[in-house]
Chains A and B, each alone.
Chain A
Amino acid sequence: MIETRLGEFEEVILLLTGILGEEAYAFKIAEEFESQTKRSVSIGAVHSTLTRLEEKGFLKSEMGKATAERGGRRKRIYTITAYGKKTLTAAKDFKQALWDQFPGFATSKLSFVLS
């Protein structure tokens, strides 16, 4: 059985894949992850997650172009599938719904009570 929910790390990777677009391959995603989150991550860990996300159907991939700095090797470019986008939106909506119920944000209510 394939697990279809998104973990936090998976969600970030998925988002980054979307952000990077044409440039979304393991190394770039790992770099971007490090610069955006200030957390270090190995390429292997990112690659492992990408593979898993692909298995789940959130991503699809194909081999891209080769460049000189890679010793003439091609890279695997990942793109988000429609299903992946849907799951991301669902995750965001779910969280938003939770935030809406969070008391700290109901300041207006609080001031209302005080006045």
Chain B
Amino acid sequence: MSANTKPPKLATWLLNRFLRDDLAEEVQGDLDEKFLIDGKTKSQVRAKLNYWFQVINYIRPFAIRKSKSSYLNQYDMYQSYFKIGWRNLLHQKGYSFINISGLAVGMTACVLIMLYVVDEMSYDTHHVDGNRVYRISSQMKDLKYVAASAPIAEGLKRDFPEVEQSTRVLRFPGADQLLLKEEKSNKQFFEINGYYIDSTFFQLFTYQFKHGDIHTALNQPNSIILSESLADKFFGNEDPIDKTIRVTLPFGDFNYNVKGVFKEGNKSHIPANFFLTMNNSDIGGWVKNQTNWATNNIFYTYVKLKTGTSAADFESKLAAFLDRNGGNDMKAAGFSKSLFIQLMPSIYLHSHYDYEVAPNGDVKYLYIFASIAGFLLLIACINFMNLSTAKSERRAKEVGMRKVVGAMKQALVSQFLMESLLTCAIAFFFSLLLIQLLIPPFNQLVNKQLSLGQLPHVYFWLGLLTIVTGLVAGIYPAFYLSSFKPVTVLKGKLINTFSAAAIRKGLVVFQFTISIVLILGALVISNQMDFLKTKNLGFNRSQQIVLPLQTNEAIQHAETLKNDLLMQNQFVSATQATAYPGIENISDMLFYAEGKSVSESLDIMLTHTGGDYLQTLGIELLSGRDFLKPTRNDSLSLILNESAVKNLGYTSETAVGKNIYYEWMEKKYAMKIIGVMKDYHFQSLHQEIKPMALTVSPNFAGSTYYLVLHANTANYTELMKSIENSWHKINADSPFVYSFLDGDFQKNYEREERTMALIRYFTLIAIIIASLGLFGLANFTAEQRLKEIGIRKALGASVTQVVMLLSKDFLKLVVLAIVLAIPIGYFAMERWLESFAYHINISLSVMILAGVFAIAIALLTISFQSVKAAMANPVNSLKAE
């Protein structure tokens, strides 16, 4: 028999475990013969399965080895274990409380985190051929950009036989929400997450349609596909198919026909609320004209490879493909780029580049959270271990007696394991209640809709969690307790061995190390968040109100509105712009300085403004001047930031008056630098300040506008009312929406804020559980040393000395934990801080604070017991015996 035609080893092992020795030869022979014949007529898997089936069918009374223990009535013994275990729990209420509450809280944290992790991992796992779908992303120098130029999708389909299908997704550049109107019911909503898609989209991405036909839904131009909830909002119970929805864009209104409604529930890195066909009457014409292979890298491009295609091979051919088709375009545009692929289902957790479809999750955080959850549960398990071994004296006599009357070690092990399982089962019951109680606030915290029901086989997993926890917590105490020698323990010798005490200390150090790392983490995160909130960004972020101008009407009347508002004396200044600090700005252009060539160009971000931008946002002008009013005379002028000037090879003094150049459609244009502004953070502090320019030139006008108002009053209720009134007076048909600039800027840190909140709660939980355990141990020590303390006091020791004596041992452990935790925490948090281009340094004071905090908590926990013991009258402890 060759290696893989052997019967499954585990099954053979199992058979030998239970089978009577005198049957072994014939039975094994029979089964081997059967397996051999099966192997010839059926598949290996079937043969092996059948072998298992045969083995399990030998578990019959006649074939089972008669072991000694099977003469015992196990059931009665289990009943007894259960009873004794239950009595022990009731007898030591304090310890039971510590164990059960710790385990319950630990399990609750674990389950909540698991729900979160499972949810995060479920993104894009539902697509039928998801593991063959890749996104084509671009790389320019060290900038990775997850979209590509328009013609690439079609080119890939044409040039590569291994590409089964390709598709593109486009989000309306700069607009995070679109206004949708339904004429008949006169309902209108601003909706986020709308995407333009190619007609092949549903061949790569799996969706279930509630209404309409998924195969033909995208065939006609100007079709819109709605999510279930959006369809519900517009049409209620009516059939929405072929109804018309009017989409408002900055340059006009466009009618779309509803051709489908998709079911929600599956999560994707494209968090679509509705889809519009790319073939349409608004941007459709522009999209069709996008034939340049180098520029406008804003099309998310996906390909589905044929089964059996090697993705690496495919990726390696992309360089030649791009060069062949887009070489000339890239040369004309003066830059080069390369393409790389990303496996679609892994995008959500693993892709963190520029211009993502929507903010993604991060697998790093999943690891962090999952390990924290595991550690919390472990801390609770350690409490159980420590308290059980510490209190073992109580059980020693019982163990001795049981052994004397014939209990075997195995039986005792199973007894103690049963007790730990019992404790865990009770803890699990409480944790179920806690989970139900905590899911709503937890959902709010993580901004999700989680529920126990969404986990597949949830009760199996919860049961498994309980059993595993019970085993982890119980296995060490069970072996420890059952190893007592009856002679020793019945003689009344002290059985707290040195090794058990050492292990206990080690475990306490472990618990506190984890707690201190968490404390340090929480402190560093909150310091960094404070830093983000208070750092001088180079502009004035408070009292700035932003009105998005999203309809044609609003854009036309922007100037009127601005003047109307400025007359009310509640504003310092106001400006129109295509972007304001904190939001995504995608327009840029390659410029080069006088005497340089296009190949030496610098990528400069552009913000198109209507003047007064510097004044409204309070950005400092270092040299030169602001744009003239009216701005039309400055249409060939630029105001650069320091970083742009420096990268072009000038200083803020020498730059003013110089021309810089860009090329477009093989023509050269000049722009004059009229001013240099101080670097300000127009992006979040995750990123370095990039070269950037302000312009009033219509050539660089973007598609969307915002009106930014700098208020000089803090009475926002009044202010907002008057703004709204003016808005409705001037823009009768456009809904009024606003936001605050500081809030929008802060949105960049949403993930960090969420992490901070979660870590804070985890830290609190870890501290509570670890303190509970320490409290129990301190109580135990004080109890054990009752007589010693009595004698010491009788001989003249003061209360302080006794407290010191009792606390010293534990404090040593905590100090050791601090020594271990600080470097671990330091390196972990350094890594986290690296994700910000601008961050705090972890100062010594933070580390000291974390250490002091840990010592304070430990002291507080122990002092209660030590003081109680030290204050006790020595007579009481010494008179007995």
Binding site for B on A (CB under 8 A): 25-27, 30, 42-45, 47-48, 51-52, 63, 66-67, 69-71, 73-76
Contacts and interface: CB of A to CB of B under 8 A. Distances in A.
Given A70-B29, A74-B26, A47 B58 contact: yes
Nearest to B36: A69
Contacts of B33: 27, 67, 69-70
A43 B26 contact: no
B744 to A, nearest CB: 70
B57 A63 contact: no
Given A27-B34, A42-B54, A69-B36, A47 B29 contact: no
A39 B30 CA distance: 19
B63 A47 contact: yes
A48 B28 CA distance: 15
A43 B62 contact: no
Given A44-B60, A47-B63, A48-B60, A74 B30 contact: no
Contacts of B23: 47
Main secondary structure of the interface of A (DSSP, over half): helix
22 contacts: A25-B26, A27-B30, A27-B31, A27-B33, A42-B54, A43-B34, A43-B58, A44-B54, A44-B58, A44-B59, A45-B57, A47-B58, A48-B63, A66-B29, A67-B33, A69-B33, A70-B33, A71-B29, A73-B25, A74-B26, A75-B29, A75-B30
B30 A26 contact: yes
Interface of B: 1, 23, 25-34, 36, 53-54, 57-60, 62-63
Given A25-B30, A69-B33, A73-B32, A44 B25 contact: no
A38 to B, nearest CB: 16
Contacts of A75: 26, 29-30
Contacts of A27: 29-31, 33-34
Given A45-B60, A69-B32, A70-B32, 16 more contacts: A25-B26, A26-B26, A43-B34, A43-B54, A44-B58, A44-B59, A44-B60, A44-B63, A47-B23, A47-B27, A47-B58, A70-B28, A70-B33, A73-B32, A74-B26, A75-B29
Contacts of A63: 25-26
A71 B28 contact: yes
Given A44-B60, A47-B63, A51-B62, A73 B54 contact: no
Contacts of A76: 26
B13 to A, nearest CB: 16
Contacts of B32: 69-71, 73
Contacts of A30: 34
Contacts of A67: 33
A78 B828 CA distance: 72
A71 B32 CA distance: 7
B66 to A, nearest CB: 14
A52 B62 contact: yes
B61 to A, nearest CB: 8
Nearest to A64: B26
A43 B30 contact: yes
Q: 5 tightest CB-CB pairs across the interface, nearest first? A: A73-B29, A42-B57, A44-B57, A70-B29, A27-B30
Contacts of B29: 27, 66, 70-71, 73-75
Contacts of B1: 71
Contacts of B60: 44-45, 48
B360 to A, nearest CB: 52
Contacts of B62: 47-48, 51-52
Contacts of A70: 28-30, 32-33
Given A27-B33, A43-B34, A73 B26 contact: yes
B620 to A, nearest CB: 87
A48 B59 CA distance: 10
B140 to A, nearest CB: 66
A69 B27 CA distance: 13
A44 to B, nearest CB: 4
B881 to A, nearest CB: 64
A115 B28 CA distance: 65
B50 to A, nearest CB: 9
A33 B16 CA distance: 26
Nearest to A27: B30
B3 to A, nearest CB: 15
Most B CB within 10 A of own CB, among A45, A71, A76: A71
Contacts of B26: 25-26, 63, 73-76
A70 B24 CA distance: 12
Contacts of B63: 44, 47-48
B25 A43 contact: no
A74 B57 contact: no
Contacts of B57: 42-45
Nearest to B34: A27
A76 B28 CA distance: 11
A75 to B, nearest CB: 6
A30 B58 CA distance: 13
B2 to A, nearest CB: 14
Contact of B53 (A42, A66, A73, A74): A42
B147 to A, nearest CB: 59
Contacts of A44: 54, 57-60, 63
A43 B879 CA distance: 73
A43 B53 CA distance: 10
A34 B693 CA distance: 86
A78 B180 CA distance: 85
B53 to A, nearest CB: 7
A42 B30 CA distance: 11
Contacts of B58: 42-44, 47
A79 B420 CA distance: 54
Contacts of A69: 32-33, 36
Contacts of A48: 60, 62-63
A64 B33 CA distance: 15
Contacts of B34: 27, 30, 43
Contacts of B53: 42
Contacts of A25: 26, 30
A71 B27 CA distance: 12
